[in-house]
Amino acid sequence: MAKLLARAGVASRREVERMIGEGRISVGGTPVETPATLLTSLKDVTVDGKPVTAAGSARLFRFHKPTGVLTAASDPKGRPTIYDRLPKGLPRLMPVGRLDMNTEGLLLLTTDGGLKRQLELPSTGVERTYRARVFGDVSQTQLEELIHGIEIEGMRYGPIDANLERRTGRNGWIEMRLAEGKNREVRRVLEHLGLEVSRLIRTAYGPFALGDLPRGAVDEIHGNDLATFRKTLK
């Protein structure tokens, strides 16, 4: 059931499990008790009393996430989330990965839980690109060492292709490309190198670039471009 509902764009599998625990999902009017419930279709399935329709073709959107908003459905502290910033009239969308509250830039959103999982898994090797504005001293040689990966406080991070784009005094911009995207990975690695990060922007996720999409804006990736990309996934 959790898998079917995720593919239908109701929520991520983890979120579906939480919703089941809250008694929000029913089959034939009876609340479901476990996400391991086996179903062959979504017939008679409701969420918060509303029928769930089967998933159509996967859709993918670009969103220019601003700083100051959480990548979450809601926040117990009442802080704004991406859903407070998205325009009305969009289908139910799930974020692909996360950007922390103070990170801006490209956030992909999809209607399809299976596509979301494909894009997020490290095994698929989808590259993420970031630009960081930093303060401190670092050399290109130090950055190039990151291609071998790095361990910080017991956490191992995979290869990072990092380049010093430009520097003015002790201020500079660094571009980083990586395929794992662990929690706060870019910030932790740069801080480990003794740098202060004052701005962090995700500029691309796989072949999909932020480009000149205005902050807070959203647009849909063409279906043919998405289909072509999916054929390249491992």
197: β partners: 134
Please report, to the nearest 10 degrees, the dihedral formed by the alpha carbons of residues 128, 208, 97, 131 taken in order: 40
* 100 catalytic residue (yes or no): yes
Distance CA 26, CA 150 (A): 46
DSSP line for 184-221: THHHHHHHHTTPEEEEEEEEEETTEE-TTPPTT-EEEP
Q: Buried b / exposed e across 91-101, counting CB within 10 Å, b at 16+?
A: eebbbbbbbeb
Tell me which DSSP letter residue 122 carries: G
Distance CA 117, CA 179 (A): 14
Q: Quick one: which of 148, 146, 105 has its CA closest to 128?
A: 105
Tell me which DSSP letter residue 11 carries: -
φ, ψ for residue 121, nearest 5 deg: -65, 130
Of the candidates 100, 137, 219, 225, the residue annotated as catalytic is 100
Distance CA 73, CA 66 (A): 16
Catalytic residues: 100
